[in-house]
A and B are shown apart, each in its own frame.
Chain A
Amino acid sequence: AQSVAQPEDQVNVAEGNPLTVKCTYSVSGNPYLFWYVQYPNRGLQFLLKYITGDNLVKGSYGFEAEFNKSQTSFHLKKPSALVSDSALYFCAVRGHNDMRFGAGTRLTVKP
């Protein structure tokens, strides 16, 4: 069955520093992987997805993610964090008829 795991409940970074939010996956067949962000009391906003092709996927708000097949990972990255990036981040994998989400990682960017 398709699944993802986010090993860190929380990530703290200083503004201006690079950030990484980790995600590992377990799939049968080709992985279709996604990152979403959730601000307080809001729904999920789509950031980016990996279908096939380049291992480095660029998305919204300066985020990118690196697909690594050998490590079964799909980490979210940003070269320079902003305080406004503070939010809850979810990794997800496409299942048969649904999306399967990780438990989320709370990112806090401190000024």
Chain B
Amino acid sequence: DTGVSQNPRHKITKRGQNVTFRCDPISEHNRLYWYRQTLGQGPEFLTYFQNEAQLEKSRLLSDRFSAERPKGSFSTLEIQRTEQGDSAMYLCASSSRAGGQETQYFGPGTRLLVL
């Protein structure tokens, strides 16, 4: 399968714990995006990378959220000191072109439940 992959698919954690999610983009896609989707809503943009550079992070939900893409390939999204309101689906997408011609391809998502 050459699509975007995300791990784990499901994560249950207790409030206050840290969690980390991984995204492997389509091979050779240089752009990688993170979104959050809550029940009954469309995906909400969080951050994105072009290669290893994080070009937009002002829309991360709080300073508890951080993302990395150290070698310009896979990316991780970390949530520190999780809260119940962090429960959501976290989606990763990748693309190979910028601007109007760009199409983002999404992974299956990681569903987080904070107890």
Determine how close the nearest CB of chain A comes to the CB of B70; give it in whole angstroms. 21
Give the distance in Å from the alpha carbon of A30 to the alpha carbon of B40 in the complex: 28
Contact residues, A66-111 vs B (CB, 8 A): 90, 92, 94-95, 97-104
B48 contact set on A, CB distance < 8 A: 97-98
In the complex, whether B74 has a CB less than 8 A from a CB of chain A is no
B interface residues, tally (CB under 8 Å): 27
- A44 at interface, CB cutoff 8 A: yes
Measured in the bound complex, the distance between the Cα atoms of B35 and A36 in whole Å is 14
- Distance to closest chain B CB from A86 (angstroms): 17
Q: A43-B4, A44-B91, A45-B106 are in contact. Are A99 and B43 (CB under 8 A)?
A: yes
| Inter-chain contact A101/B105, CB cutoff 8 Å | no
Q: A32-B100, A44-B91, A94-B100 are in contact. Are A101 and B106 (CB under 8 A)?
A: no
Residues on B close to A: CB < 8 A?
4, 6, 33, 35, 40-45, 48, 55-56, 59, 91, 93, 100-109, 111
